[in-house]
Chains A and B, each alone.
Chain A
Amino acid sequence: MTRLPLPARALLWLSPVPRDARHDVQTDLLELFLVRRTERGALHAHWRLYHDLASLWSQPRSRLALLRDAGGDLKYAARLFARQPGILLLTIVGLSLGLGIATAAFSIMNVAALRGDGLVDPDRAPGVLRTTDHSTATVWKYDEFLRLREGATRMRVEAVVTDAAPARVGAAEGATAAVNVGFVSGGFFAATGRAMTLGRPLEAADEQHAGPPPVVVSFAFWTSRLNQDAAAVGRTMWIGRTPATIVGVAARGFSVPNSRLLWMPLTAYGTIYGAAPDTRAPDMVVQVFGRLLPGVTVSEAEAQLSGVAAALPRGAAADSALRARLDPRAGLGRASTSDMLTTTVLVFAVIGLVLLLACANVATVLISTAITREREMGVRAALGASRGRIVRQLVTESLALGAVAAGIGLLFAWWGIPIIGTMIEAPAGSDLTPDLNVYVFLGIVTVITGVAAGLAPAWHGRSADLVAPLKGEGASPHRIAPRRLRSALVMAQAAASVILIVTATLFVRATFSAAAIDVGFDAGGLYAVSPGLGDPFDAGRGAAIRDFWARATSELQGAPGLQAVALAELTPFDGLSRTATTSDDPPRVITFNRTHAEYFAAMGLRLLAGRTYSRAEVAAKAPVALVSQSLARAYWQGQSPLGQLVPPQIPMTPLPDMGLNGTRPVVIGVVADAITMRLHDRIAFAVYEPLDPASERFSQLLIRVAPGSTGAINQAGQRLRALDPQADVRITSVADQLQQEAGRPRMLAILSGIVGLIAIVLCVIGLYGLTASVVGQRSREMAVRSALGADVRDLLRLLMWDSLRPVVLGLALGAGAALLAGRVVAAAVFFGVSPQDPIAFAGAAVILLSAAILAVIVPTRRAAAVDAAVVLRRS
């Protein structure tokens, strides 16, 4: 090592050691450091190094004296700020906004990236990969896992099922909230290494449970759903249609794997989803991981486990021996750290930017006070205060401000975190409460911003002539801190707030206009039904679903209050879609759907020409299709498409189970346009084909209820549930889905509105500081003017224009940028609201200008109201 550690060099650079002596000191420190390291070890050497560095600052003084100084500084600061409550308020608001945003952003990231998911020592809990000479898989067959577990001697081997669909969970049957359940082998909790908050973990004996299966709930679930009830253990909760007994509450923060909220034994999988692992044994796949026994290395455990794997029975198709490969990165911990890194860097960039703005503004305000305090500083210096002592006072002041601001910022973060959590769609039930990391972060950031904001005015006064102010000469204009820079800052903030507010207003208006979009069909009275009978890809389950649909359609056909019932591959706004892009120039996006003949009646889609397909055609998988009006118009310009083949530009990819073999279907009818996917896409090109019987297991049932028959859908639901007690029938209202879809911009409106308001506040703070300092510097000029007969209003007019200029420029700049930005996002989310919407722009301008005028008028009035005689007497 030939150089000091970087932080030490930075500290040295900051220290009061004169520049020409710095290198000498550095070599001395390095020499001492090296000697101490060899004699007493690195820890001692570091400790002494930083001790030495600290000693460069102040010659040994009693700590009591330092504290006494700080107390005096604080008292002085309190008196000073009591005289200028406006400045106090602005500074605290600015700092607390910055700190609050930084803390909120950091806590979200803390949860997402830093806190981890609670797996103890993940390097000792590697994933077990299934490898052959030609392949590597992350999953094993269930019976293979059982043999691995039996044969392993160097590590515990456990398994989880991670791809189970969310189950509906509640205190009673029929709850609606879906929750991710982890199905785990008996030793899972022992292998993850975490203690329980309450009760007991799942154990090996739980794999052979009799009666209701046991369930362990996460701390977050226990908090949000069970109100941290200590008596929750032993209680029964419903998971899907199965009662389960709560046996324990996991440790706080434990959510392995992938944000699970509940854990049940692997063997309960069948009870919940209607397919027992044992009956599906050859097909059921599990993710396997292990926990190395103490003292065992990864390679030892890998060699032993590979021996077990090689002895596993293989089918005839087996190409080579099976091996087990242990990979800590494939374990149950977080998937990829490199993805996290990008997010982390981005988040910190944003945090840094916001803090920088807040700091710059606060510093601007403090500088403006520093100008008026030059006299005070001069007195202090004349009485023998060293420059360091004066700087220390300024820093103490801003640290005190920072501490108050940190408290408010913390409140702000507490309030903001859940909102941000919802906006970024944090997994349900994630524990977003700030933890120690967050408080430490806030503390460090507060100190840094406090010191930085306090050093700015100190820096400003670094070359101050300490005698001139004493003589009563006002602030000399040639020493004005970079005013152009500060004007530019205010201008940039004004521009940013205009963009944000315009966007927010556009979003708000978009919510209203989204509600008015004509989707082309009547969503009221339309319901979609999913059967909840388990995995349609499972052959047995698939057959059960088909059977269920057959009985359901005949049961509901002609039921009172129901107008139409139809199976369809896709139902409106359920989040799924099947689209293709045509080979036209420009390409068009087309949606595909496969339906029963009654679909058009159920949706209420008008038939404009031709006919719909018949039941016989559906049963026979006839190559026929209906197209939407827009599609017909685009490809047959005014001519009848009936009897024509679907044009070759439209790719008709045969699905593996469709049996169409790429045959081009014949158009037999044209129906009205309908928007069924995302509102903002407005894809009006659609091709409808008959739903072939083999695909019925993937489809949902659409029910159209006759107007006025309100109870009909509940009755239909009861009849469906009566058909098969196994079925977990779920009925969703298409109108609700539509409303949810239309409500999406509301979230964005809230977000950009909040950020826009913050930007305005920051802009106002910056503007206030700028104006106050300009006014302070021009007080003499103002006094002369008023002595010569200018009245307060004249002075105001003069000063106002000077201060408002950067805001007006920023307004124009921001408006221009908002126009451009609006055009880009308009298509995506504005639902037909023009990005040139005059109301949005006028609103933003009015809000910003009135805030700016307020920020300017307060210090200006104060300056204009000062007695001219007092100011002039100073010279």
Chain B
Amino acid sequence: MSSHLIMKGDHLGEFEELTLLAIRALGDHTYAVPIQQYVEKATGRPISVGSIYAALARLEEKRFVRSAMSEAEARRGGKSKRVYTVTPSGLRTARELHRVRERIWNAIAEGGRS
């Protein structure tokens, strides 16, 4: 358990974390297709687009990402699309999670058991 309380709403699941990081890595204002491709490439296992949608929906519910409709784009039949951006709170939670992990890994390393 880390030093401060993690509220239920703040919890970031593993897949959600991957999705969130992918959005960040893609430079924000990105949409489902590149996210799916990025996560798939990064993890090396097939990822269904449905699980990306679900993760995005959960992230948005927790306000870790926010979405907006983009400008129309010729490539997608002139229709606008929903693009996602990581919110500061999302970024903070992800960093926090990363830090927690790092601390634990360091503890493992110090114990000489890595």
Per-residue 0/1 for A27-66: is the Cβ within 8 Å of any B Cβ (1 yes, 0 no)?
A: 1110110010000000000001001111111011000000
Decide: A31 and B54 in contact? CB cutoff 8 A. no
- With beta carbons under 8 angstroms apart, the residue of A2, A51, A55, A60 that contacts B77 is A2
- With beta carbons under 8 angstroms apart, the residue of A21, A27, A54, A59 that contacts B76 is A27
Given known A23-B79, A35-B37, A56-B53, contact A28–B32 (CB-CB < 8 A)? yes
Stretch from B42-50, B87-95, B105-113 at the A interface: B42-50
Residues of chain A lying within 8 A (CB to CB) of residue B33: 28, 31-32, 35
Per-residue 0/1 for B17-54: is the Cβ within 8 Å of any A Cβ (1 yes, 0 no)?
A: 00000000000000111001100000000101111011
B98 at the A/B interface (Cβ < 8 Å)? no
Decide: A27 and B77 in contact? CB cutoff 8 A. yes
- With beta carbons under 8 angstroms apart, the residue of A24, A51, A55 that contacts B82 is A24
| A54→B53 CA distance, assembly (Å) | 13
Residues of chain B lying within 8 A (CB to CB) of residue A54: 48, 50
Decide: B79 and A52 in contact? CB cutoff 8 A. no
Decide: B54 and A32 in contact? CB cutoff 8 A. no
Residues of chain B lying within 8 A (CB to CB) of residue A2: 77
Residues of chain A lying within 8 A (CB to CB) of residue B81: 24, 27-28
| A441→B53 CA distance, assembly (Å) | 36
Nearest-neighbour CB distance to chain A for B28, whole angstroms, equals: 18
Decide: B51 and A51 in contact? CB cutoff 8 A. no
Residues of chain A lying within 8 A (CB to CB) of residue B48: 51-52, 54-55, 60
Nearest-neighbour CB distance to chain A for B14, whole angstroms, equals: 12
Per-residue 0/1 for A1-37: is the Cβ within 8 Å of any B Cβ (1 yes, 0 no)?
A: 0100000000000000000010111011101100100
| A52→B53 CA distance, assembly (Å) | 11
Decide: B37 and A55 in contact? CB cutoff 8 A. no
| A24→B77 CA distance, assembly (Å) | 11
Nearest-neighbour CB distance to chain B for A35, whole angstroms, equals: 7
Per-residue 0/1 for B53-74: is the Cβ within 8 Å of any A Cβ (1 yes, 0 no)?
A: 1100000000000000000000
Decide: B31 and A51 in contact? CB cutoff 8 A. no
| A27→B82 CA distance, assembly (Å) | 11
- Of residues 630 to 661 in A, which have CB atoms within 8 Å of B's CB atoms? none
Nearest-neighbour CB distance to chain A for B113, whole angstroms, equals: 31
| A136→B83 CA distance, assembly (Å) | 68
> Of residues B49, B51, B81, B82, which shows the largest number of chain A Cβ atoms within 10 Å of its Cβ?
B49
**Closest partner residue, chain B, to A57 (CB atom):** B50
> Of residues A32, A51, A52, A56, which shows the largest number of chain B Cβ atoms within 10 Å of its Cβ?
A52
| A140→B50 CA distance, assembly (Å) | 65
Residues of chain B lying within 8 A (CB to CB) of residue A27: 76-77, 79, 81
Nearest-neighbour CB distance to chain A for B49, whole angstroms, equals: 4
| A51→B49 CA distance, assembly (Å) | 9
Decide: B49 and A59 in contact? CB cutoff 8 A. no
Residues of chain B lying within 8 A (CB to CB) of residue A24: 32, 79, 81-82
Say whether chain A's binding surface is mostly helix, strand, loop, or mixed: helix
Residues of chain A lying within 8 A (CB to CB) of residue B37: 32, 35
Decide: A25 and B77 in contact? CB cutoff 8 A. no
Residues of chain A lying within 8 A (CB to CB) of residue B31: 28
Residues of chain A lying within 8 A (CB to CB) of residue B54: 59
- With beta carbons under 8 angstroms apart, the residue of A25, A32, A48 that contacts B53 is A25
Given known A48-B46, A51-B46, contact A31–B76 (CB-CB < 8 A)? yes
| A53→B53 CA distance, assembly (Å) | 12
Nearest-neighbour CB distance to chain B for A23, whole angstroms, equals: 7
Residues of chain A lying within 8 A (CB to CB) of residue B49: 25, 28-29, 32, 52, 55-56
Residues of chain A lying within 8 A (CB to CB) of residue B51: 55, 59-60
| A29→B54 CA distance, assembly (Å) | 15
| A28→B46 CA distance, assembly (Å) | 16
| A31→B36 CA distance, assembly (Å) | 11
Nearest-neighbour CB distance to chain B for A304, whole angstroms, equals: 53
Given known A28-B33, A31-B33, A32-B36, contact A56–B50 (CB-CB < 8 A)? yes
Residues of chain B lying within 8 A (CB to CB) of residue A32: 33, 36-37, 49
| A384→B77 CA distance, assembly (Å) | 41
Nearest-neighbour CB distance to chain A for B77, whole angstroms, equals: 7
Nearest-neighbour CB distance to chain B for A28, whole angstroms, equals: 5
Nearest-neighbour CB distance to chain B for A11, whole angstroms, equals: 12
Given known A28-B31, A32-B33, contact A59–B79 (CB-CB < 8 A)? no
**Closest partner residue, chain A, to B82 (CB atom):** A24
Nearest-neighbour CB distance to chain B for A269, whole angstroms, equals: 65
| A51→B46 CA distance, assembly (Å) | 10
Nearest-neighbour CB distance to chain B for A409, whole angstroms, equals: 36
**Closest partner residue, chain B, to A47 (CB atom):** B46
**Closest partner residue, chain B, to A25 (CB atom):** B53
Nearest-neighbour CB distance to chain A for B80, whole angstroms, equals: 9
Nearest-neighbour CB distance to chain B for A233, whole angstroms, equals: 55
Nearest-neighbour CB distance to chain B for A405, whole angstroms, equals: 33
Residues of chain B lying within 8 A (CB to CB) of residue A48: 46
Nearest-neighbour CB distance to chain B for A804, whole angstroms, equals: 51
Residues of chain B lying within 8 A (CB to CB) of residue A56: 49-50, 53
| A601→B81 CA distance, assembly (Å) | 96
**Closest partner residue, chain A, to B81 (CB atom):** A24
Residues of chain B lying within 8 A (CB to CB) of residue A57: 50
Nearest-neighbour CB distance to chain B for A871, whole angstroms, equals: 44
Nearest-neighbour CB distance to chain A for B53, whole angstroms, equals: 7
> Of residues B50, B76, B77, B79, which shows the largest number of chain A Cβ atoms within 10 Å of its Cβ?
B50
Nearest-neighbour CB distance to chain B for A388, whole angstroms, equals: 14
Residues of chain A lying within 8 A (CB to CB) of residue B53: 25, 56
| A55→B48 CA distance, assembly (Å) | 6
| A27→B76 CA distance, assembly (Å) | 7
- With beta carbons under 8 angstroms apart, the residue of B50, B76, B77, B82 that contacts A52 is B50
**Closest partner residue, chain A, to B54 (CB atom):** A59
Residues of chain B lying within 8 A (CB to CB) of residue A21: 82
**Closest partner residue, chain B, to A15 (CB atom):** B50
| A23→B50 CA distance, assembly (Å) | 14
| A104→B112 CA distance, assembly (Å) | 74
Nearest-neighbour CB distance to chain B for A12, whole angstroms, equals: 11
Residues of chain A lying within 8 A (CB to CB) of residue B77: 2, 27
| A32→B77 CA distance, assembly (Å) | 15
| A29→B31 CA distance, assembly (Å) | 12
Nearest-neighbour CB distance to chain A for B3, whole angstroms, equals: 32
Taking Cβ atoms with an 8 Å cutoff, the residues of A that contact B are: 2, 21, 23-25, 27-29, 31-32, 35, 48, 51-57, 59-60
26 contacts between A and B (CB under 8 A): A2-B77, A23-B79, A24-B81, A24-B82, A27-B79, A28-B31, A28-B49, A29-B49, A31-B33, A31-B76, A32-B37, A35-B33, A48-B46, A51-B46, A51-B48, A52-B48, A52-B50, A53-B50, A54-B50, A55-B48, A55-B49, A56-B49, A56-B50, A57-B50, A59-B50, A59-B54
For the A-B complex with A54-B50, A55-B50 known, give 12 more contacts whose Cβ atoms are closer than 8 Å. A2-B77, A21-B82, A25-B53, A27-B76, A27-B79, A28-B31, A32-B36, A52-B50, A56-B49, A57-B50, A59-B51, A59-B54
**What 9 A-B pairs have minimum CB-CB distances, sorted nearest first?**
A55-B50, A55-B48, A52-B49, A56-B50, A28-B32, A31-B33, A59-B54, A27-B76, A52-B48
